A and B are shown apart, each in its own frame.
Chain A
């Protein structure tokens, strides 16, 4: 395959010049016209990022539904129901989930510097934090005074937290797979696409939780 430099850019917006002015980490996502051989990460992370943008639209559609229903309903909580509670359990769960982003990132960085042992330990802690969140979610569900079918509050709450929880589960599963693969000799010598994508996915899951947390628990009836 040829490693030719970029040819004349006939684009009216001179895309190539703009691209070169961007910071390095952003340039990774925007390829040059012809494909550079060096960024082996390039298309994988680009594709995965694009996929995450799509996923966020699904969440957006659920959030849109929740917000519109809530704004247009006078009695959001059925009589006798107190709705989602901002309990200690929920607060601790949130803290655990959000700080796990700050554990997974150093793990990923360690892998890039080939510090396999450090990577594995930090990665394992992240998995534990994820599982903690999931168990906390299930306990919270069990203790609530409303079900999926209890009015609009039930429909929206369980759908949003359940769909998010599914993504947390998926993230944990991906992390476990990556951890197992780290025991295959030479697995991470050439590409870290698997762990990079899993890390990005985990950050995505956390950002979504920030929105859901605010909309479900901080928005009082």
Chain B
């Protein structure tokens, strides 16, 4: 087989896809994504170049960037709009198994995400070339490569019933934990990064090679062939059991939720462990109020919660499908969404109180964040049946593809606005929360009319 020609074909197809736009929304999503990446790349580049002036070392800024890239690499697969399943080459094609395994890996790797992150590193290194050593650049790229390989390995472990599945899973998790731990706290392990990172990369490649090989064997069965954000639950349980099984029965939702919980717990642990004086010092040295550290997980947690619940809107409807009452579905949704948020509030408040950080501003900020994102999550959930009612209009298909990017940009913009307004006066943030709640209530009450108008508009 002309192996190089297949590789060339994949590369060509991928590059063509970058410039294929179905409609204005698809173009908008792509432009937003590119603009965001460029903004981050230039921002990080200048932060690296001027690290001393910002009160950091270059290594600290680079550590932050690498950590962000690792977290994004691992979590991106679990967002609903992302292609979650791997792309195997079917075993009935006349290609040797080794080539099939390698081609499957390439098909996955040559997607927009790795190319975008690679471009981010290139632009960032280009801007801060004089501030970085070649070793720092190479180690950052090695970190990214290891994260990519481990992410695919994790997906293969989830999607295929390979022999020794749990052993592979444990290997991937251990490698991932070492990678994250080393990137977040570079001096924790008594091994030089010049030794540790190449070893990690080799381990990740080895595990990936074994898994890629196992996945193309006919003896290995694929347990997930469509997006694993689908719901698969046994019926006949109680309502609470049904809801919980459906929610956590989907592996990708459970993992997304788990990552959000870990991040939240990590931040709370950080606040609990670090002394108040150190917090003040950290705030001063970072030129940032500690509220940021608290704010990010709140928004992230609520966004993830809504994203996960939003995907499960069908579940709320199914549970109440005999009555088809929106009100019943709404109360069920609120009950299961508000409970974790209340638990989060109690836990976070306790830790903040313990550290003497529980000010009115922070409590108000939390409340406005919660109300805004919960309302928006509900609005997204109310809109999602329009997408699932076999309406394959290209407009909604595109909306679904860009919703993740638009959602993340929206969360960031709202978060900044809430932070800014709350820091001016603790009641100012309530304006955004009120607008969000009022819009959602309007949407909820006029759902049928709006849906009819939308369908009518599309069909015309």
| B is bound to A | no
Please list the residues of chain A having a beta carbon within 8 angstroms of any beta carbon in chain B: none
